[in-house]
Homo-oligomer: A and B are copies of this chain.
Amino acid sequence: MTAKNAFYAQSGGVTAVINASACGVIQTTRQHKDKIANVYAGRNGIIGALTEDLIDTNQESDADIAALRHTPSGAFGSCRFKLKSLENNKAEYERLIEVFKTHNIGYFFYNGGGDSADTCLKVSQLSEKMGFPIQAIHVPKTVDNDLPITDNCPGFGSVAKYIAVATQEASFDVASMAKTSTKVFVLEVMGRHAGWIAAAGGMASTEDNELPIVILFPEIDFDQDKFLATVKEKVETFGYVSIVVSEGVKWPDGRFLAEQGTRDSFGHAQLGGAAPVVANMVKDALGYKFHWAVADYLQRAGRHLASKSDVEQAYAMGQAAVELALAGKNAVMPTIVRTSDAPYAWEVGSANLADVANVEKMMPREFITEDGFGITSLCRDYLQPLITGEDYPPYKNGLPDYVVLKKMAVAKQLSDFVK
């Protein structure tokens, strides 16, 4: 087997640990230089392949590659760019294969969510048809935890830990203030379709210390009367309440709560945020003073508070992707297989991309309490190991010492791609 090169790209929204997967891919290939000569990374994801804008990772020092493990975001740049169907856009796929052929790329490692699993599968299929077979391996990544088959998804555990800790800390804060001031705290979290991240807010309440938390899941139609009654009951019992609202919560008619038809002074539709909508609703109905926060990128970029198991699994998925490639596998994705909840144990498995692509894993209904506002013990058992353990980055002058790579370009050999 002559040494070929590998292509690696990051896709979609980045996470606190996607670079740990990149670290796993690159460190593992460096142990097999005889089989994989170099990893070319797509600058800004798959767009880097289409435009033949490849980053030569052999130019990066071992120390910098190692530092990817503790650096959040997408070190090579990511993109929101979904390749169209093969029928509608064969030219793009053919261009990919052409670029890969030109640079002697035999391995395609695509680090992303459901959409990119689909792209990965198509690259594998088309490359074969075009007589330049490429082994395409998908590396799972998504904060939304919505990929099927794998027990959980790298990126999710760290967001879950961030939201659990943030909900706990803010609840302590509002509890201190509730006597004369704020009684309601609302935290808006990511997860447009699946409520996994919102569920993590429920982990802030523990057996040792029960906290009054109301969760609004995208899986549960919003019932305003029931919600307000629950908020009132919590405030009357505990003196305060913390509400964790998913950005994806909807009214029964399908409208997002965040799209309340608000207008600014110029008459433009205000792109809201579910948190202020919920907070104002509580204030109008019950008169409680509120505070609200929108965690947005802070939650998925918060590497300073990453979950240890998440970092380990993200790395392991990158490593396993290379090992699967070296074992001759194609159109597969390494997965996390849970073998025990407590003590937590897991191992690496693999899934066929045909079974992964475009399938979304929602929260099981039995993970949500009957009233729709909390998590069950089944859900707690699932989430607990994913948020357990800390993995602090090194610090320099009070800030995490995150790495910025050199990102030297590989010389282009093709003419520009014109769609």
Interface residues of A (CB under 8 A from B): 10, 13-14, 44-45, 47, 71-75, 77-81, 161, 164-166, 168-170, 172-177, 179-181, 185, 187, 203-204, 206, 208-209, 260-266, 268, 270-273, 275-277, 279-280, 284, 291-298, 300-305, 307, 384, 387-390, 392, 395-400, 402, 404
Contact call B173/A400, Cβ cutoff below 8 A: no
Contact for A296 among B14, B79, B293, CB less than 8 A: B293
Q: Which of chain B's residues has its CB closest to A73's CB?
A: B172
- Cβ–Cβ contact B294 & A292, under 8 A: yes
Verify B79–A169 contact, CB threshold 8 A.
no
When A and B form their complex, which 8 residue pairs have the shortest distance between CB atoms, in order from nearest? Answer: A74-B176, A73-B172, A293-B296, A387-B398, A169-B301, A44-B179, A261-B265, A173-B301
A389 to B392, CA, bound (A): 13
Contacts of A78 in B (CB 8 A): 176-177
A169 touches B304 (CB 8 A): yes
Cα A177 to Cα B80 in complex, Å, equals 8
* Whole-angstrom CA separation of A395 from B175 in the bound complex: 21
Name the one of B74, B81, B166, B209 contacting A298, with C-beta atoms under 8 angstroms.
B166
Sample 17 A-B pairs with CB under 8 A, ordered by A number.
Answer: A14-B177, A47-B180, A78-B176, A164-B398, A165-B399, A166-B298, A169-B301, A169-B400, A206-B399, A260-B264, A262-B265, A264-B277, A270-B280, A293-B295, A293-B297, A293-B298, A384-B397
A14: nearest chain-B partner, CB-CB: B176
Q: How many copies of the polypeptide does the oligomer hold?
A: 2
Residues of chain B within 8 A of A14, CB atoms compared: 173, 176-177
Measured between beta carbons, the chain B residues less than 8 angstroms from A388 are: 397-398
Of the candidates B173, B295, B400, the one whose C-beta lies within 8 Å of that of A73 is: B173
Q: Which residue of B lies closest to A172 (CB)?
A: B73
Q: Roughly how many angstroms separate A78 CA and B180 CA in the complex, as a whole number? A: 8
Q: Across the two chains, which residue of chain B brings its CB closest to A395?
A: B390
Shortest Cβ gap from A265 to chain B (Å): 4
Q: Is the CB of B260 within 8 A of A261?
A: no
CB <8 Å contact, A172 and B206? no
A173 and B296 CA atoms in complex are apart in Å by 11
A289 nearest CB neighbor, chain B only: B80
